[in-house]
Amino acid sequence: MSDAEYMRRALFHARRAEGVTTPNPLVGAVVVSRDGVVVGQGRHPRAGEPHAEVFALQDAGAHAHGATMYVTLEPCCHYGRTGPCTQRIIEAGIGRVVAAMTDPNPLVSGRGISELRAHGIQVEVGVLGDEAARLNRAFTLVQTEGRPLVIAKAATSLDARMASAPGVRTAISSAVANRRAQRLRGAVDAIGVGSGTMLADDPMLTARDCYRARPLARVVFDRRLRTPPSARVFSTLAAGPVIMMTTVEAVAQHPERAAALKAVGATVVEGSGSLPAEIRSLRAWEVSTLLLEGGGALHAAAWQAGIVDRVIVIVAPTVLGKQGAKFFDGIPVPLSQLIPVRVETLGPDAWMEADVHGNR
């Protein structure tokens, strides 16, 4: 097998922990003996537990001596909740390390590679680097820009309408596509919606039909405190916090509304009204991935602020007409800024996924 094939196996193990490692990255490791036998495998299961390299070395035991380790992220070289993986690799006698990418954490950022090389270990970096970088884009953004990965998801008709009319609740996607959307909810740290979506749909914003190991934060961007305390989302606080992003001015003008929301369990955050600042503040809740589910005005605001990193569109084979609510509130989304990643058929619908670049 080639380096790429072994690294693909390490990436498989890393993905198995999707949705549970925040604020840590997704990491998988594979140890391969000199004669090409996989003798150890592991993944980082969650923050506070040993890293992938440690599990793979434990699995390999004495077979690790002289072997090659394939790891999806540069091994750490500092003390955090656990000790440095570089020491474990050196002590195990690993002869070669193949890392998919360097660690964007300033405490590591190439130092792990340098330490391994200083101890005579051959190190190569970049095998399946693009795949590893996409897998840990959220971790990278938190480390480099101080904000979570933002995914804008919308269900639309063939004529790019998100509802039959603005403010009207409209079921568009099929049951098959909805199940996939629930799995997506199960893998992110938070779901975000605007107050218009709260008023039109009264969503519960929970992850259903899938297992979720961590609390799911629900974020409502409500500059005018329009969300009623009777909203169904407040009956789901056992699933995770409900965070109301509003402004100092709104609370001053409507103190009774803020008090009513706090009384039903909402966390009311008073800010300046800057969407990028509000999203950055979610780090206090260990949010590394934010799924924006609507509505169009929120999607448009996030796009225009240059903070949409991934776009997911579910296109249903129906036409809603000119009176319908427009996708992304009708603003242009240049195709030149989208990197297609996946197009799948889910029942009658098409699930289309793309990464965003150059949106600054």
> What's the pLDDT tens digit per position in 211-250?
888 899 999 999 999 999 999 999 999 999 999 999 999 9
Confidence of residue 360 (pLDDT cuts 50, 70, 90): very low
Q: At what angle do helices 85-92 and 111-118 cross, to 10 degrees?
A: 20
Give Cβ neighbours of residue 348 (< 8 Å, ≥ 6 apart): 174, 316, 317
pLDDT attached to residue 358: 59
156: burial class by Cβ within 10 Å (0-12, 13-18, 19+)? buried
pLDDT attached to residue 107: 84
> What's the pLDDT tens digit per position in 2-47?
999 999 999 999 999 988 999 999 999 999 999 999 999 999 998 8
For 228, the token pair is 């009623």
> What's the pLDDT tens digit per position in 274-322?
999 999 999 999 999 999 998 899 999 999 999 999 999 999 999 999 9
Q: What residue type is 55 in one-letter code? A: F
Q: Is the pLDDT of residue 79 over 80?
A: no
pLDDT attached to residue 333: 86
Q: Is the pLDDT of residue 63 over 90?
A: yes
Confidence of residue 170 (pLDDT cuts 50, 70, 90): confident
Bridge-based pairing of strands 96-99 and 267-271 is unpaired
Positions marked active-site: 53
Give the Cα separation of 273 and 195 in Å (integer): 14
Q: What is the mean pLDDT of residues 187-211?
A: 93
pLDDT attached to residue 165: 87
pLDDT attached to residue 80: 65
Q: How many residues does the chain have?
A: 360
Q: Is the pLDDT of residue 359 over 50?
A: no
Contact 98, 6 (CB under 8 A): yes
Q: Is the pLDDT of residue 86 over 60?
A: yes
- Across the chain, mean pLDDT equals 93
Confidence of residue 99 (pLDDT cuts 50, 70, 90): very high
Give the global pTM.
Answer: 0.91
> Who has greater pLDDT, 170 or 221?
221
